[in-house]
Amino acid sequence: MLLKHFFSAALLLAAFSARAAQDLPWHLGAVDAKASAPAAINTNKIPPGPHRVVVAVIDSGILAGHPSLNGQLLPGYDMLSAPNNLRGGRSTDFSPDERDARCGQRLISGAFRTHGTEVASLIAANGVDGAYGVNPSAKILPIRLFGACSMSRVDLLDAIAWSAGLPVPGVPDNPHPAKIINMSIAGGLSVCGADLQRLISRVIEKKIFVVAAAGNNFHKPLPEPANCNGVISVGALDAENHIEVYSALDPRTVLYAPGGGKHLSSDAYWAVNKLMVATYDLDFLGKEKSTALERGVGTSFAAPVVAGFISLWLSYNPNKQPSDLSRELPKFLRQVEPLSKCAECVPKGLTANAGITQP
Amino acid sequence: MKRSLLLTLLISCSAIADPVWHCSRNAQSAMEVSASAQEDQFSLASFSSTMDVIGVSISDLIDVYSGVPVRIGGLPLSACFMPGNENLTSAALTSLGLQPAAIQALARRSAIIQSNLHIVTSDAQMLSCIARHFPAVGYLDEPHETQDSQPCF
């Protein structure tokens, strides 16, 4: 048993050393700090701490066979209920459904199928294929909530409850409750509903961090779940530290992180301004193959960068809770270019330093 | 005083409304969609926000206006483009990191190679383009909701 832990630690260290020796995706920072993208979170030189952190990813499902997520996934759940689930109902199969390109006459982009896999990779990818998570020692708890058809609010509430280890009628107990819940989702009500707020408050009382995308609504106010009290809402920055034009713009936004977008005019290596994610592409025969691509654009991708950052902090300080983060956040904050459109918005970006490893 | 007033006037004259992205509505029955309450209308954050329209992402917008083929539910996505409204087009496309002039050249070429960029000359044509080339995306300076299209982000 001890030997097993030793080998795991050695493998992790070797992976991290290899990672530190090469140039990483721009959002994590460069080996030479001066060459880092202005919006990089600079976690590249901070190896994961000794504690394993479970991060729930409530999304479109995760393709478990991706090499970048090998060894990173816990048994998850498909929380999408009938009749919206083309498989007929809830099950332990958390992978996306191959039929998710359309639901009757409703058409969806192919990017939908890989969304959850891409989001999970930003948190915990192991570096295979070139996709690196912020905290490769984190474990992902996959929860599928979206298919091509609609979903219900009950499914969302059950997904959050199950992630947190709360009982959900008809669903086996979750043996691996999450410490962080990432929701790269948006919609619902313009004011957080009482049902959702009640559940989120209960989850936060259990010392669980709830992270949600601010939404890609082109500067409108926060949707649910980002607009609920206690949620760490995340807006998107470009590589040069400007708030992206598609990001929600709301004084309640807690943090901003790299979310990518338009190609930048700079000739710097980060000008591509898209996040490197583990994903799938078609080969010349039209067959799906795993790969890593600079493809991530949106607050969907900014949120897991923050979830990964918090998991890295918790890997050193496993007993910290959401109120501690609010208190200690100033250590990791960096000013972001403000927007004249929202004078009362105080945009805050994240950047790592040695404080992340200290109690 | 006069100078600052003039400056304010110039700024307000040159200011243009933010572009509003529009998408094709699904062929799904309107009744089926309206039956779904707003409190149930969630989507992945990177995608269009309502179940009523085709599911496209910001990345899809960038790709399709760059001339990169995008498929939605197995069908090619079309992009409607209004170079005549320079301010609006410039605001819409530069927000995606694209140059309107380059898109115009691409759109002209697309007429020959049967690509999916379509030039229109008015708001009415923009709406008609989105309807005719289902599934399609386009932009206007204010929200328009029709049987075939509606704002999507």
Q: What does each of the 359 residues of chain A score in pLDDT, given as a tens digit?
A: 445 555 555 555 555 554 444 568 999 999 888 889 999 999 999 999 999 999 999 999 999 999 999 999 999 999 999 988 989 999 999 999 887 778 877 888 888 889 999 999 999 999 998 999 999 999 999 999 998 887 899 999 999 999 999 999 999 999 999 999 999 999 999 999 999 999 999 999 999 999 999 999 988 999 999 999 999 999 999 999 999 989 999 999 999 999 999 888 889 999 999 999 999 988 877 788 999 999 999 999 999 999 999 999 999 999 999 999 999 999 999 988 777 777 778 778 999 998 999 98
Residue of A60, A300, A311, A315 marked catalytic? A300
Polymer length in residues for chain A: 359
**What's A31-68 look like in SS3?**
CCHHHCCCCCCCCCCCCCCCCCCEEEEEECCCCCCCHH
Is residue A136 a contact partner of residue A171, using CB atoms and an 8 Å limit? no
Quote the CATH superfamily of domain A48-357. Answer: Peptidase S8/S53 domain (3.40.50.200)
Q: How is residue B145 annotated by DSSP? A: -
The predicted-structure confidence for A189-224, as pLDDT tens digits, reads as follows 999 999 999 999 999 999 999 999 999 998 899 999
The predicted-structure confidence for A51-88, as pLDDT tens digits, reads as follows 999 999 999 999 999 999 999 999 999 999 998 898 99
Of A104, A109, A263, the CB nearest to B97: A263
The complex's ipTM works out to: 0.87
Query: What are the residue boundaries of the structural domains of chain A, listed by start?
Result: 48-357
Q: How is residue B18 annotated by DSSP? A: P
A50 to chain B nearest CA, in Å?
A: 32
Measured over the CA atoms of residue A356, residue A234, residue A259 and residue A208, the dihedral's sign is: positive
Kindly list the residues from chain B whose CB atom is less than 8 angstroms away from the CB atom of residue A245.
95
Whole-number pLDDT of residue B7? 42
Which residue from B minimizes the CA distance to A111? Answer: B57
Query: Mutating which of A59, A108, A272 best tests the B interface, going by the most B Cβ atoms within 10 A?
Result: A108
A248 to chain B nearest CA, in Å?
A: 10
The pair of three-digit structure tokens given for residue A347, joined into one six-digit string: 């945009």
Of A150, A245, A295, the CB nearest to B36: A150
